[in-house]
Amino acid sequence: MPPNSARQELLLKSYEENHLSYQQNGLPSEEQMIRMKLEPYKEVKQLSFDIPNRKLEVYHTEEVDTIHQAISELKLNDRLENTEDETKLPLAADDSNQRKILWWVLGINFGFFVVEMTTGWISRSMGLVADSLDMLADSIVYGLSLFAVGAAISRKKKVAKISGYFQMGLALLGFSEVLRRFFSETGIPLFQWMIIISVLALIGNLISLWLINKARSDEAHMQASAIFTSNDIIVNGGVILAGALVYWLESKWPDLIVGGIVFGFVMRGAVRILRLAK
């Protein structure tokens, strides 16, 4: 093999269960899991993710066995497709504009986490509280991607562990509150707050999606961010629908049902973030 060359390995992740979870919640953390797992391996020179086709190209020197074993330890049901020799690495994309966009998206998500958490408790809406934690989950993933650049792997894992346990703790508190309200006499949520705040959050996510699509990037983290934000829009719509049903049925059940479902998504996201720390 010529000097400074890199062998290209193509890994195809063809699994239905993780494909569904990626469509719903968490592909950015899945990508981060792979990146952090392979970071200690100096023979790995570059990673190229193809999210729509569920493929990963690893450009590296030395043999593939160690790298493939490391990826297999993540239990993502990966499969080695083929091996090719490359004389040089592909040019890395300039991500300065992408980073600016991700900072804006992070700011929008964290801002609405604060707004929805506050108004959710005031209006007694578990749907808004759960949606706020979903926004926080996005913020954590984007924050890990942005703040971890250049940091030592031990620090990255520590940040991931703290973030994952924090998010899991909030999700568990949310579940317990849903159960408490389910088995006790509590007031009907203020549907006006549910609808108004969710509409504003929907607008925020639409702006985020517009910014991401405006970048016209094929980079994996930008594609994943678009999917992530699209899923948030669906969650916003669910809370709006719950608010309308609360008004129509004069019942707290639609709010509790939607809140419980979204808390489930938040818990899954926390588990995936904790896997980053292993």
Beta-sheet strand order (sheet of 6-12): 44-50, 55-60, 6-12, 79-86
Average pLDDT over residues 61-82: 75
CB 4 within 8 A of CB 59: no
Residue 219 in 3-state DSSP? Answer: coil
Torsions phi, psi for 5 (to 5 deg): -85, 170
Residue 26: per-residue pLDDT: 38
CA dihedral 236, 240, 246, 248 (to 10 degrees): -150
- Identify the sign of the CA torsion 249, 173, 234, 209: positive
Domains of the chain and any CATH numbers:
6-86 (3.30.70.100), 96-276 (1.20.1510)
Is the model's pLDDT at 143 over the cut of 70?
yes
Whole-prediction pTM: 0.63
Q: Which pLDDT band holds residue 173 (cuts at 50, 70, 90)?
A: confident
Residue 147: per-residue pLDDT: 64
List the alpha helices (DSSP H) in 123-152.
Answer: 126-147
Q: From CA 100, how far away is CA 120, in angstroms rounded?
A: 30
Q: Which is more confidently placed, 90 or 200?
A: 200
Is the model's pLDDT at 132 over the cut of 60?
yes
Tokens describing residue 201: 């959050």
